[in-house]
Amino acid sequence: MAENFSEHKSVLIKNGVIVGSKKPAVDILIENGVIKEIGNVTNHPTDIHIVDLKGAYVSPGWADIHVHLREPGREDEETISSGSDAAMAGGFTAVCCMPNTNPPLDSEDMITSIKERAVGHLVKVYPIGTVSKERKGEELAEIGNMVEAGAVGFSDDGDPVYDDALMRIALEYSKMFGVPIVNHSEVRSLAKGGVMNEGAVSARLGIPGIPSHAEDIMVARDIRLIELTNGRLHVPHISSIETLELVRRAKAKGLAVTCEVTPHHLSLTDTNFEKFDAAYKVNPPLRTEEDIDALRNGLADGTIDCIASDHAPHSPEENEADLLDAPFGLVGLETAFGVCVVNLLDTKVLNLEQLIEKLSAAPRKIYNLPPAEIKVGKNANMTFFDITTEWKVDSSQFLSQSRNTPYEGMTLKGKVLGVVNGNKVYQAD
């Protein structure tokens, strides 16, 4: 299979504006994957790959810490290779993949296998291991062995850790390894049978609802458990005002809690269900305008640490099912940045520097990933983009194998022009 990226001993990035720097456009010289020079590069080898950015932005490479790559088990929906391609097209040089594959990533062998399958790609894949053996929610998995094999955090994502005692043990035990526990926050008995946010819209449409309380009750429990254990909790995809408030209070107390928000929870409301389209069916569900406003403010004031897509590919067959049968989830890697520009930059919720921090440095910090920095002597790890180009979402152009997006046909803004990781370069058409 032809690669979507190329490898070069020497690369010259010309005329890029580094985000956060006061300087005008500069050149960046990369030799053997390492940044050699930043400035007006005049002296370079003749056999060199040149990328002329013509004044576009350069930032440290972005990381998406919540993706589902579906391999092993559902390679018809996504593979490590196609998901990595989608990530780089979306501007990401690193992803953290969730362990709810089939079989799940619950052992050092499974973690090693994911890492081996990802070798050679531009995008670095950091696996997250399961909290429990076989992801059954009963017994603690071999967290230590998985950390040694390269797991960066632990989650039974797709399902919550229901058992209070297991959650306590997981938070206590993982402390030794300095890794976070990531709990899919959902009280299942409250969410059961639900399709969309429970509220005024579901009342009118007669679509089974999931109250936001299903999320915040679980988060409240988990926060109490970190008070008990001094463990580290990362709350994925927060969707409601109440959950945000819980995290805000926990942070004020100095507890070790972090959280992420998805681009779709920052941009789409439950009123979309008037279309009865399963493309909007996602868990946690899309909430209301008030929730979106609160989440945006939470990002700006630092309560929410970072943005992550919860990229969840589904086959067309699953996607064609009716509203009750259709699975939860949407593909987000390739639309994340465009959605952020429209909903966070253009609305002045964040400035460009802040947005890039939420996409690059902040997510890496949560899982202790090596930082991406544009400095001489550092490994080249960067993303090129503009924030002005308007483009229409056409899922047939996605590098992801799946097409389940609610943004089809929508106009977004801000184009990813390419990424570099080491000596590997991807340039968008």
Partner 1 sequence: MPVLSDRHLLGLEGVPQKDIQLILDTAFTFREILDRPVPKVPTLQGQTVLNFFYESSTRTRMSFELAEKRLSADSINFSKSGSSASKGETLRDTIRTIEAMKIDTVVIRHSAPGSAKLMTGFIDSNIINAGDGAHEHPTQALLDMMTLQEHLNLKSLKGLKVAILGDIKHSRVARSNIHGLKTMGAEVMICGPSTLLPYEAEALGVHISTDINEALEFADVLNILRIQLERQKGGLFPSLREYRKFFGITMKRLNGYKKKFTIMHPGPLNRGVEIDADVADSEHSVILNQVLNGVAVRMAVLVLLTQTHNKGKNRSDG
Nearer to partner 1, 324 or 376 (CB): 324
Which of positions 308-347 make contact with partner 1 (CB under 8 A)? 317-318, 320-326
Measured CA to CA in angstroms, residue 64 lies from 108, 204, 250, 262, 314 at distances of: 22, 36, 24, 10, 19
Nearer to partner 1, 157 or 270 (CB): 270
d(C-alpha 127, C-alpha 124), whole Å = 10
Nearer to partner 1, 143 or 195 (CB): 195
Q: Which of 31, 77, 78, 198 binds partner 1 (CB under 8 A)?
A: 198
Q: Which of 181, 207, 238, 340 binds partner 1 (CB under 8 A)?
A: 207
Q: Which of 20, 33, 144, 208 binds partner 1 (CB under 8 A)?
A: 208
Q: Beta 381-385 vs 57-60: how paired, if at all?
A: antiparallel
376 lies in the binding site for partner 1 (CB under 8 A): no
Q: Which of 200, 228, 390, 397 binds partner 1 (CB under 8 A)?
A: 200
Which of positions 38-77 make contact with partner 1 (CB under 8 A)? none
**Closest CA relative to residue 338, chosen from 413, 416, 263, 429:** 413
Nearer to partner 1, 60 or 285 (CB): 285
Number of Cβ atoms within 10 Å of the Cβ of 32: 13
How far is CA 107 from its chain centroid? Answer: 23
d(C-alpha 280, C-alpha 272), whole Å = 7
Q: Which of 164, 310, 325, 394 is catalytic?
A: 310
429 lies in the binding site for partner 1 (CB under 8 A): no
Q: Which stretch binds partner 1 (CB under 8 A): 193-201, 261-269, 297-305, 386-394?
A: 193-201
Is 12:44 a contact under the CB 8 Å cutoff?
A: yes
Q: Is 270 a catalytic residue?
A: no
- In the block, residue with structure tokens 């490590």: 80
Q: Which of 199, 224, 272, 368 binds partner 1 (CB under 8 A)?
A: 199
**Closest CA relative to residue 383, chosen from 394, 391, 372, 375:** 372
Which of positions 89-118 make contact with partner 1 (CB under 8 A)? none
Tokens at residue 281, please?
């069916």
| Cis geometry, peptide bond prior to residue 284 (ω within 30 degrees of 0) | yes
Q: Which stretch binds partner 1 (CB under 8 A): 77-85, 87-95, 198-206, 247-255?
A: 198-206
Measured CA to CA in angstroms, residue 258 lies from 244, 250, 278, 367 at distances of: 11, 10, 30, 10
Q: How far is the CB of 209 from partner 1 (least distance, A)?
A: 6
Q: Which stretch binds partner 1 (CB under 8 A): 146-154, 155-163, 207-215, 404-412?
A: 207-215
Q: Which stretch binds partner 1 (CB under 8 A): 150-158, 208-216, 222-230, 384-392?
A: 208-216
Q: Which of 60, 61, 158, 211 binds partner 1 (CB under 8 A)?
A: 211
Q: Which stretch binds partner 1 (CB under 8 A): 3-11, 146-154, 271-279, 294-302?
A: 271-279
| Cis geometry, peptide bond prior to residue 72 (ω within 30 degrees of 0) | yes
Q: How far is the CB of 339 from partner 1 (least distance, A)?
A: 24
272 lies in the binding site for partner 1 (CB under 8 A): no
Q: Which of 34, 48, 190, 205 binds partner 1 (CB under 8 A)?
A: 205
Buried b / exposed e along 138-155 (16+ C-beta atoms within 10 A) = eebbbbeebbebebbbbb
Q: How far is the CB of 272 from partner 1 (least distance, A)?
A: 12
Nearer to partner 1, 200 or 228 (CB): 200
CA dihedral sign of residues 270, 273, 275, 280: positive
How far is CA 11 from its chain centroid? Answer: 28
Helix and strand totals (H; E) in the chain: 13, 21
Q: Which stretch binds partner 1 (CB under 8 A): 121-129, 191-199, 264-272, 420-428?
A: 191-199
* For the chain, the helix, strand and coil percentages under 3-state DSSP, each to the nearest 5: 30, 20, 45
Q: Which of 9, 188, 204, 392 binds partner 1 (CB under 8 A)?
A: 204
Q: Which of 206, 254, 377, 409 binds partner 1 (CB under 8 A)?
A: 206
Residues near 254 by Cβ (< 8 Å), separated by ≥ 6?
none
Query: Interface with partner 1 by CB under 8 A: which residues?
Result: 195, 198-209, 211, 275-277, 317-318, 320-326
Task: Report the catalytic residues.
Answer: 310
